[in-house]
């Protein structure tokens, strides 16, 4: 029998996953410094990234699939388990031809554990026979759901409406061919690869349409957006497509961020999801003379605020304070701002922001306080592949004293007394869960600390720029998404779509007074939330 040579990219992906088994480093950071990965060609690197990150993010569902065929699954040798997970991910989520996957991984197992080769061969043939087709059918089912949203206004009405009754939910599910809620959740979990509790919470929080969007986005191409530094402008290549020229926002079309390495390292370009850029623009449009940024982290949004304040010709911020609990992150933020040639007077404060009300002078107030709150990261799971496995449902329990929701509430309470009358308190997360977003804001407004605040409309100029840029972003996303979908029964041509249908196929956000949620979309921005509160007394 002629032996099959295992592709070098699969061997490197296998070695990386073995190394990450006992390494707490994030996968993307690990690969940057993994010698075997760095030696590969660009196409091979892309494959390794997809497989390594895909196996980690979808491990919950991959293991469920394998458990159907493998007795005592957890007791298998770890190298054999990693091979099985990689092969299952390729068969199901990449829909790679079965003959290629089976032959490659049987040979790979033979190199690390000869006794397991025939066993792996049998398991993979069964997955190829059943689960590969099941995934394809489930995906097309979800595609039909988001394509059957006939207008953008309909989606906004559905999302903003009061919760519908159990009976109405059941009828809606039946209209799309689901017998019950669990049938939909099974398909959404299979397509997304996410744990059941996450998908179920998104469904209950956001409804059928947004949950279907999220499931499809979880395994889709992750777009990259960058913001141009006006203090040290780069030469913009033709492959960068403008999304919002006024902000200096671009998307990368068909090129790797690695090709822009020098501009990114030199802070001439800053990588940031477009929804995050929208939030930074919102802060700028409040036109603060005194600005406090809470939870600045490594300074990405701080850079964006500086860029946009200059590009939009807003008044200079005379006093600016960046606060974070981590002194290491603050040092990184300081370094990045310096590298970007931003020389504005900025004070860096390493302090627990839940007690900031006792840190500042009793009379010190700011025109705008921006809270970039710590959160579950449920809106950015496709970029942070470890999130689904490290996220805990217990962390979303407001009754727990150290939960994320409790911390978010404490941040709002502590920040509330630092806002001038007539000033703005802006609260943002990268979560899709309502318990971290609207619920936190509503609870704050109902509390003693929030009595002097009201949810108000966002600055008009920002709203106009937002709608124009999101229209462009979602149109680009729909073109990419429709090109990636092959559905002979329900095919939608991008060229044949009206503008309202383009928007409905990629419902970018919903709005309530003073609140915006950017929904997670395939080939478009991640899910972020922002609320604008004004101190009225």
Instruction: Please name which of 138, 202, 194, 94 lies closest in space to residue 484, comparing C-alpha atoms.
Output: 94
**Phi and psi dihedrals of 424, rounded to 5?**
-115, 140
For residues 422 and 533, give the distance between their C-alpha atoms in angstroms, rounded to a whole number.
Answer: 10
Please count the helices (runs of H) and the strands (runs of E) in the chain: 22, 13
- DSSP codes, 149-160: ---HHHHHHHHH
Q: For the CA atoms of the chain, what is the radius of gyration?
A: 24
For helices 78-92 and 8-20, the axis angle rounded to 10 degrees is 120
- What percentage of the chain's residues is helix, strand, coil (to nearest 5)? 55, 15, 30
For residues 405 and 533, give the distance between their C-alpha atoms in angstroms, rounded to a whole number.
Answer: 18
For residues 536 and 256, give the distance between their C-alpha atoms in angstroms, rounded to a whole number.
Answer: 47
CB 31 within 8 A of CB 62: no
Here the tokens at position 238 are 């033709």
Q: How many CB atoms lie within 10 A of CB 150?
A: 11
Burial label, 498 (beta-carbon count in 10 A; 0-12, 13-18, 19+):
exposed
For residues 441 and 350, give the distance between their C-alpha atoms in angstroms, rounded to a whole number.
Answer: 25
Q: How many residues does the chain have?
A: 537
Instruction: Please name which of 512, 527, 524 lies closest in space to residue 432, comparing C-alpha atoms.
Output: 527
Query: Does 352 carry a binding-site annotation?
Result: yes
User: Which of 313-318's residues contact partners 24+ apart within 8 Å by CB, and which partners?
Assistant: 314/284, 314/285, 314/287, 315/287, 315/289, 316/344, 317/288, 317/289, 317/290, 317/291, 317/344, 318/289, 318/290, 318/345
Structure-derived torsion over alpha carbons of residues 519, 520, 525, 531, reported in degrees to the nearest 10: 40
Inter-CA distances, 201 with 16, 26, 165, 393, Å = 32, 25, 17, 10
Query: Does 131 carry a binding-site annotation?
Result: no
**Phi and psi dihedrals of 354, rounded to 5?**
-70, -10
Given 296, 323, 430, 525, which residue is catalytic? 430
Please say if 323 is a catalytic residue: no
Residue list for the binding site for S-adenosyl-L-methionine: 324, 352, 372
Q: Annotated active-site positions, please? A: 430
Residues forming the annotated binding site? 324, 352, 372
């Amino acid at each position: 029998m002629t032996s099959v040579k295992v592709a070098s990219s699969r061997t490197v992906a296998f070695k990386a996953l073995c190394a990450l088994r006992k390494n707490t480093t994030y996968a993307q950071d690990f690969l940057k410094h993994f010698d075997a990965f760095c030696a590969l060609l660009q196409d091979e690197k892309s494959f390794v990234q997809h497989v390594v990150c895909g196996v980690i993010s979808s491990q919950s569902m991959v293991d469920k699939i394998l458990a159907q065929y493998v007795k005592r699954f957890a007791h298998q040798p770890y190298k054999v388990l990693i091979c099985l997970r990689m092969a299952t991910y390729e068969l199901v989520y990449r829909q790679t031809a079965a003959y290629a996957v089976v032959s490659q991984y049987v040979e790979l197992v033979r190199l690390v554990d000869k006794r397991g080769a025939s066993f792996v061969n049998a398991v993979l043939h069964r997955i190829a026979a059943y689960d590969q087709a099941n995934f394809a059918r489930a995906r097309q089912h979800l595609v039909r759901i988001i394509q059957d949203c006939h207008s953008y206004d309909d989606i906004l009405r559905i999302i903003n409406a009061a919760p519908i009754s159990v009976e109405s939910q059941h009828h809606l599910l039946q209209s799309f061919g689901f017998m019950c809620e669990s049938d939909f959740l099974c398909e959404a979990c299979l397509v997304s690869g996410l744990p059941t509790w996450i998908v179920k919470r998104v469904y209950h929080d956001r409804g059928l349409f947004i949950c279907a969007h999220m499931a499809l986005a979880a395994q889709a191409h992750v777009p990259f957006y960058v913001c141009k530094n006006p203090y040290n402008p780069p030469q913009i290549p033709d492959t960068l497509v403008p999304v919002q020229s006024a902000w200096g926002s671009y998307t990368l079309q068909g090129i790797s961020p690695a090709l822009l390495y020098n501009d990114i390292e030199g802070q001439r370009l800053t990588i940031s999801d477009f929804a995050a850029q929208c939030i930074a623009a919102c802060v700028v449009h409040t036109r603060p003379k005194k600005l406090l940024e809470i939870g600045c982290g490594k300074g990405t949004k701080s850079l964006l605020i500086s860029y946009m304040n200059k590009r939009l010709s807003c008044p200079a911020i005379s006093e600016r304070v960046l606060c974070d609990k981590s002194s290491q992150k603050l040092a990184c933020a300081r370094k990045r701002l310096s590298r970007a040639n931003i020389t504005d007077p900025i004070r860096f404060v390493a302090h627990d922001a839940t007690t900031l009300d006792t840190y500042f002078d009793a009379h010190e107030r700011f025109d705008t306080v921006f809270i970039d709150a710590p959160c579950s990261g449920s809106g950015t799971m496709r970029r942070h592949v470890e999130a689904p496995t490290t996220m805990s449902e217990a962390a979303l329990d407001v009754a727990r004293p150290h939960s994320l929701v409790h911390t978010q509430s404490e941040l709002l309470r502590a920040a509330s007394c630092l806002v001038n009358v007539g000033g703005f308190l802006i609260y943002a997360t990268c979560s899709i869960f309502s318990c971290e977003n609207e619920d936190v804001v509503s609870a704050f407004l109902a509390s003693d600390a929030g009595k002097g605040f009201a949810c108000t409309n966002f600055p008009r100029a920002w709203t106009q720029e937002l709608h124009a840029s999101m229209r462009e972003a979602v149109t680009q996303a729909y073109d990419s998404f429709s090109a990636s979908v092959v559905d002979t029964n329900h095919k939608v041509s991008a060229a044949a779509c009206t503008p309202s249908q383009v928007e409905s196929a990629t419902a970018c956000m919903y709005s309530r007074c003073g609140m915006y949620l950017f929904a997670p979309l395939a080939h478009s921005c991640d899910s972020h939330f922002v609320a604008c509160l004004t101190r009225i007394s």
